[in-house]
Structure 1
Amino acid sequence: MKKRLLIILLFIAATAAWSIEIHEKAGTTAAAFLKIDSGTRPMAMGGAFTGLANDINTLFWNPAGLTSIEFREFSAMQNFSIADINSQAIGYAQRLNQKMAFGIGFQGAFTQIEYRAQPTDKPDDLATVGGFATGLTLAYELIPEISIGGTAKLIHQRLSVENSLGFAGDFGMVLRPMGDLMGLGMSLQHFGLLDTEEDLPMTARAGISFAPLNELSVVGDVNYPLVGDFPSVHAGLEYWFYDLVAFRIGYSLNQGENLQNGLTTGIGLRRDGRSSLINTNFQFDYALVPSADIGNAHRIAILGRF
């Protein structure tokens, strides 16, 4: 009991220490596509996943959580959003040994902007804008209760005819003082610069998860942008019925948004493969992220374990 209490106190102290340097800057950031959180399962739970961090989605939320995977995992996600802005994410992860795991991930978002010299029905030209990031993640289990991880990312941004490159890093920690019953996580994301010396949307996350039943997970996150934007609070839950169908619901609260925008929901379906894929477990996830201001966003993802 004393050991678990010490771990929790260390987590709180570390979170406070990291928060000391947090400061806000006015203005916008580059590589805005990084603000679009990747993953369907996490978004169905209101965007809370930093403390749970127990599948390949953790590549984009908390790199330390990668030590929780038991098999090789892959995922592909498509986000059908508003204003023809679609985002994607692809990931693969596996264990290297009992202590270490690695993964690679890709996330990006693109749209087209119309150019007109005069107020005409048809545009004079179309320009593709957006960007993508490719990352390599390593996670290491210090002791059974504590894991750390990091991601090195190459970032490419395209704004009309101007392209820019940059490098960034993510850093994370997960504490499981009571095994799978409770998880505490924190991560720092998008620390770096583009070659234009513009700031990236650096963010600090802290989260907690609680699983009183094998079928039930209750999660909560706090996100604190270090450059611009407002802090946000996220909460959600997931319940699996017979390990076949999952129901998810969540809510996020952001000071700068309409209060009606925060509700999210989704489902998950899980099934083993057939014939040559008998050793592969497939999972399909769907999330609905409504917005009273700009409409609904639909996310779908497929995840495989083998």
Structure 2
Amino acid sequence: MTYAILCFLWLITPIYGQTEFSFESARPLYVGARALGIGNAFTAVADDATAGFWNPAGLIQWQGVKLFGVNKFYNRADYRFDPKGIGYSYRGYSLFWGNKIAIGVDSGVPDFNYYSIARQLGSSVAAGLSLKFKRRHPSNVYQFFGYQTNYDIGLLFKPRPNLKFGCLAQNLEGYGIQWLTLGTAYRYDVYQFSVDVAFPTDRTTPEVYIGAEWDRFPIVPIRLGFSNGAWTVGIGVAWKGIHIDYARIFEKPAASDFIGIVISFQ
């Protein structure tokens, strides 16, 4: 069984020749140190303040206000990526604002503002919508919106307390859907396993993301993931309403380290 899994991972590992990172477009990858620690397999998990990026339907999974910020603190000479956001959820309704900006990448300064809304549709189903506004650089004024608007549509289905399915349909440019991501998350005792498969509409090869989280001691969860060819590891520290997470992704040409914080108010 172990041999078969290793062969599968080897087969889906891409060759690193590209210079563009996946987070340079309006996709959620790398947003949140917890999500990165489990290999960016977060579409069906989406249960913290980063859900507005990953799957807006997931925003209804908590009550109150959550703020988050992420900082790439190691290997910033390669690129900088520091997303942040705030979400509010109350009785099955949720609102969210987030921003992600990358500096030092070949595509310029990709900068996106996200505005999201979510609604619980029943005991086991939720839906959400994110509007994504790409902001212009350089600019002398603060841009609440931007010159290009795209959208995400998210669904979350929880048929059992320990099983969830997520779907994220993404419009990145023009009309229609360019990416469709299907995810599942399963909890067994103190372990949570998650898998995302992202299907591009312009080619046949999907991207695969796999993650696991072990919270034998809930205040110090440990994480491992496989992000479409790059291994990831992570660890967290939780104390009352404060969660601090660390993640490392072994990407090319060098590994990168991220730290994130989530603060909850109920």
- Shorter-chain TM-score bucket reads 0.7 to 0.9
Is the CA contact (8 Å cut-off) linking 2:25 and 2:172 kept in structure 1?
A: no
Is the CA contact (8 Å cut-off) linking 1:56 and 1:69 kept in structure 2?
A: no
Is the CA contact (8 Å cut-off) linking 2:26 and 2:132 kept in structure 1?
A: no
Tell me, yes or no, if structure 1 residue 303 matches structure 2 residue 262. Answer: yes
Aligned to 2:7: none
Indicate the larger mover: 77-86 or 103-112.
Answer: 77-86
Is the CA contact (8 Å cut-off) linking 1:67 and 1:99 kept in structure 2?
A: yes
Relative distance call for 1:302 and 1:229 in structure 2 (3 A) is: farther
Please show how residues 94-109 of structure 1 align to structure 2 within 5 Å: 94-95=88-89, 97-109=90-102
SS at 2:64 equivalent: coil
Aligned to 1:38: 31
Tell me, yes or no, if structure 1 residue 148 matches structure 2 residue 140. Answer: no
**How many angstroms apart in 2 are the aligned matches of 1:210 and 1:47?**
15
Tell me, yes or no, if structure 1 residue 187 matches structure 2 residue 171. Answer: no
**How many angstroms apart in 1 are the aligned matches of 2:68 and 2:91?**
22
SS at 2:198 equivalent: strand
Alpha-carbon offset, residue 268 of structure 1:
0.5
> Aligned AA for 1:189?
Q
**Bigger proportion of residues as helix:** 1
Alpha-carbon offset, residue 216 of structure 1:
2.2
Aligned to 1:205: 181
Tell me, yes or no, if structure 1 residue 236 matches structure 2 residue 204. Answer: no
Is the CA contact (8 Å cut-off) linking 1:31 and 1:157 kept in structure 2?
A: no
Is the CA contact (8 Å cut-off) linking 2:63 and 2:91 kept in structure 1?
A: no
**How many angstroms apart in 1 are the aligned matches of 2:105 and 2:225?**
31
Aligned to 1:69: 62
Alpha-carbon offset, residue 81 of structure 1:
5.2
**How many angstroms apart in 2 are the aligned matches of 1:44 and 1:201?**
27
Q: Name the % identity.
A: 22
- The total of aligned residue pairs comes to 238
Alpha-carbon offset, residue 84 of structure 1:
2.6
**How many angstroms apart in 2 are the aligned matches of 1:285 and 1:200?**
35
Question: Could you list the runs of 5+ residues in structure 2 that have no partner in the other structure?
Answer: 1-19, 139-145
Aligned to 1:247: 222
Is the CA contact (8 Å cut-off) linking 1:51 and 1:174 kept in structure 2?
A: yes
C-alpha RMSD over aligned residues: 2.9
Tell me, yes or no, if structure 1 residue 267 matches structure 2 residue 235. Answer: yes
**How many angstroms apart in 1 are the aligned matches of 2:21 and 2:163?**
35
**How many angstroms apart in 2 are the aligned matches of 1:67 and 1:185?**
13
Aligned to 1:177: 159
Alpha-carbon offset, residue 297 of structure 1:
1.1
Aligned to 1:138: 117
Alpha-carbon offset, residue 250 of structure 1:
0.9
> Aligned AA for 2:83?
A
**How many angstroms apart in 2 are the aligned matches of 1:265 and 1:203?**
26
**How many angstroms apart in 2 are the aligned matches of 1:240 and 1:141?**
27
